[in-house]
Amino acid sequence: MKDLFFVSASPHIRDTSSTTLAMRLVIIALLPALAFSIYIFGLRALIITVICVGASVICEAVMQKMLGKRITISDSSAVLTGLLLAFNMPPGVPLWLPVVGSAFAIIFAKQLFGGLGYNFVNPALAGRAFLTASWPLYMTKAWLPPAGGTLSGIDTITAATPLNLLKNPANYGDAATIIQQLNDFATIKNIFLGKIGGCIGETSALFLLIGGLFLLILRIIDYRIVFGYLGSVVVLAFVLPTEANVLFHLCAGGLFLGAFFMATDWVTSPVTRKGRWIFGIGCGILTMVIRVWGGFPEGVSYSILLMNVFTPAIDRLTRERIFGERGRTKEAKK
C-alpha cells in the first residue's frame, strides 16, 4: 500500500524555527514601538491594544470550536493579528471599534477561509480596511496629540497626522508655511523619532526600524520585499509631483510598519525570489500613487491588500523552471 503524504498550508519555514516561534519573534520586535506609543499616547494605546489582542484570541477560539477544529490560539497568530490591528488604529477611537475590527479580521479574513495559511489577505489589514470603510470618521479623525508636542510649531495648529497635513495643508492654516515646515529637518527628526500624531503603532519610525532589522538579521522576514518596497518609494518620491521630500515619505505614516511587518507576511506574500521583488516594488508604487493622487492621505494598507490579491498570479508568473523541464517538453513534442 502506497504511503500518502500531505503538504500543510503555508507558511513553510525551511529552518529550525517553528511557525509559533517566528510569530513570537515578530511580536517581540513590535514591543519597543508599542512601549513608545504608550509613552506618547498614554494608557489609551495600551487599552486599545489589549482589547484588540483579547478579542482576536477569543474570536479565534470560538470560531475554531464552532467549526470543529483544533483550538490553536497557542500558536500566537491571533495575538499577532490583534497587535497589528491595534497598531493600525488611531488612539482616540471608541473602545467598541477594536472589538468589531478584531472580529472581522479573525472571522471573515482568516477562519472562514480555513485558518492560518489559507487566508489570501492580511487579516489585520482587512480589519482596518473594513473599519475605515464602515466608520471613516473614527478611523481618520480620532487622533490624539502626542506627549511633548509634535511638528515643530504645527502642533499649535492641529493634532492631525503629517500625511493629513500634506494632503490638505490649506485646511490647517497657510498652505505654503505648512509645506515648508513639513520639509524642515526638525520636522523630519520628530517624525522619525515619533513625536507626532498618528495611529498607535506607526508613530516612531525609529523603533519600527529597530524591530524590522532584528527580524531581518534573524531571517524571519525576506529582505527582497522590504528593499523593493522602500526602494520604490524612494525612487517615486523623486519622480512624482509631491511637495514633500524623500525623507518625509520614508518616515511618515505606516511605511515602516507595512514594509517590515505586514507586507512580509509569509502567508499572503509570494514564495519565489523574483516574486518577492515584484511584490515589494508593487506595494511601493501603489503606496506612492495613493499618497499623491488618492482620496486617502496614506496608501500602505490598501497597497498591501491589493498586492495580496495578486500574490497567486505573481507566484505563477515567476515560478522557477524545474531542472530538466525543458528537456521533457521537447521529448513530449517529438
pLDDT > 90: percent of the chain: 66
- Same domain? 132 vs 162: no
By C-alpha distance, which of 245, 267, 250, 127 is closest to 185? 245
Q: How far lies 10's CA from each of 59, 104, 187, 199, in Å? A: 21, 21, 42, 30
Would you state the pLDDT for residue 281?
98
Q: Are 87 and 52 in contact (CB under 8 A)?
A: no
- Same domain? 128 vs 190: no
Q: For the chain, what is the domain count?
A: 2
| Last-in-domain residue among 94, 111, 140 | 140
Would you state the pLDDT for residue 194?
84
Does residue 146 fall inside a structural domain? no
Predicted confidence pLDDT, tens digits, the chain (334 residues): 455 544 445 555 444 358 899 999 999 999 999 999 999 999 999 999 999 999 999 999 999 999 999 999 999 999 999 999 999 999 999 999 999 999 999 999 999 999 998 999 999 999 999 999 999 999 988 777 776 544 444 443 345 688 888 888 887 878 888 888 888 888 899 889 888 878 998 888 999 999 999 999 999 999 999 999 999 999 999 999 999 999 999 999 999 999 999 999 999 999 999 999 999 999 999 999 999 999 888 899 999 999 999 999 999 999 877 655 554 444 444 4
Would you state the pLDDT for residue 155?
44
With a CB cutoff of 8 Å and minimum separation 6, the contacts of 97 are: 89, 131, 135, 138
DSSP for 106-161, please give it. Answer: IIITTGGGTSTTT-SS-HHHHHHHHHHHH-HHHHHH---PPTT--STTGGGT----
Q: Is the dihedral of CA 102, 105, 107, 108 positive or negative?
A: positive
- Same domain? 66 vs 124: yes
- Same domain? 120 vs 177: no
Would you state the pLDDT for residue 198?
83
- Same domain? 172 vs 305: yes
Would you state the pLDDT for residue 148?
52
Q: Residue 72 belongs to what domain range?
A: 19-140
Would you state the pLDDT for residue 173?
79
Does residue 196 fall inside a structural domain? yes
Would you state the pLDDT for residue 328?
44
Would you state the pLDDT for residue 47?
97
Would you state the pLDDT for residue 195?
81
- Same domain? 94 vs 27: yes
- Same domain? 284 vs 158: yes
> What is the rounded CA–CA span in Å between residue 88 and residue 254?
8
